[in-house]
Amino acid sequence: MKRIALTSLDALLARIAETQALYVPVDAKGGARFEQWEAGKVLSDATNTARSAKDFFFPQTESLYDVKMTGKKLEIVDTREDGEDFVIFGARACDVRSFSILDSVFLADPVDTYYKSRRDRATVVSLACTKPEETCFCQAFGIDAAAPEGDVAAWKEEGYLYLKAQSEKGERLLEALSDLLEDADEKAVETQQMRTRWFLSALPLGKVSFEGMKQTDLMDHFKNEKWKSLSEACIGCGTCTFVCPTCQCYDVREFDDGKKVRKFRCWDSCMYSDFTLMAHGNSRNSQLERFRQRFMHKLVYHPNNHDGEFGCVGCGRCLQKCPIGMNIVKVEKALEAPHEE
């Protein structure tokens, strides 16, 4: 393990930024967000950014290719530019775990080359939590906020930033910074971890569990009569899907300027009435069906198809942002309660 005094943090960030783009969380209107680092920027102490770090790999809007038309001749033009290596500094444990969930979708055959290119070029420096929010429940999914995943894990404690490489990318990054770092004892980090884990267990959602959602007969959840009452308050705004670090639905659209057609993809939401709308109509015509789809996917379909891994990381963003106070914890508790057949 290595460490550097927090008073020298700017020197560390400047060194990283010399060779690759560096993105850090900073405070902004509407909440913390990731921005490219430059001298003088003050890193945010917020537990989480308002929007998740998935934007780095799966951006909200992304050009795919152009189609040029010359008479009856069509030419497909790949509009991708050469990407650059970059470092994400300060991602929390929940967001880092979300990357592996996205990987299971975008890196499965057929591999999404747009997503893969960004993943290959990124080095993730995670930052352990010390003061989780009351809306946090990452521990319900086996995520340890005190020992985050990532290429490099970092901890702020006693005036120092402690760093531990956890992958080949992480080792290369710390090697490039070796003249700024010194060897460190892990005791300070271990003390912080014990404190954070206790704090997490004492939170309002510290004991919540989703394990009861795992069962062989998924139709028992699908036919639960409580979907009706749960969905009645939902206004279908899609906020929960846009702040969620694991949602991966998108639509492919086009823009025709008369000379070429630009194909692009953009985030979409299963909560919208026109989601996957086709010529014959929509396969989910009611709010109940759309509401049920979102939570069934997170809590039942995804774990059934990915070795028990839920499609949620407990970041708490949906608890904070839903305008009617609905969230995945309320849904889970309602479905776990006894119900009529």
pLDDT in tens, 228-278: 999 999 999 999 999 999 999 999 999 988 778 999 999 999 899 888 776
d(CA 256, CA 330): 44
Mean pLDDT of the 128-149 span: 95
Mean pLDDT of the 95-113 span: 96
The strand order across the sheet containing 250-256 reads 73-78, 61-70, 260-267, 250-256
Q: Helix, strand, or coil here: 90? A: strand
pLDDT the model gives residue 337? 64
pLDDT the model gives residue 282? 67
Percent of the chain predicted with pLDDT > 70: 96
pLDDT the model gives residue 140? 94
Residues 155-190: tens digit of each pLDDT: 999 999 999 999 999 999 999 999 999 999 999 899
Mean pLDDT of the 4-29 span: 96
State the number of CA atoms in the 13 A half-sphere of 250 facing the CB: 22
Q: Which residue has the higher pLDDT, 335 or 169?
A: 169
pLDDT at 285 over 90: no
Mean pLDDT of the 213-236 span: 86
pLDDT the model gives residue 216? 56
Residue 318 pLDDT class (50, 70, 90 cuts): very high
* pTM for this model (two decimals): 0.91
pLDDT at 59 over 90: yes
Which residue reads 């990452």 in tokens? 138
Percent of the chain predicted with pLDDT > 90: 75
pLDDT at 334 over 90: no
Query: Which pair of structure tokens corresponds to residue 83?
Result: 């990407």
Kindly report the average pLDDT of the chain as a whole number: 92
Pairing of strands 250-256, 260-267: antiparallel
Mean pLDDT of the 288-307 span: 92
Residue 228 has a CB neighbour count (10 Å cut-off) of 13
Q: Which residue has the higher pLDDT, 127 or 284?
A: 127
pLDDT the model gives residue 283? 74
pLDDT at 339 over 60: no
pLDDT the model gives residue 274? 82
pLDDT at 323 over 80: yes
Assess contact for 56 and 23: CB atoms under 8 A. yes
Assess contact for 283 and 92: CB atoms under 8 A. no
Of 288, 294, 305, give the one whose Cα is nearest residue 101: 305
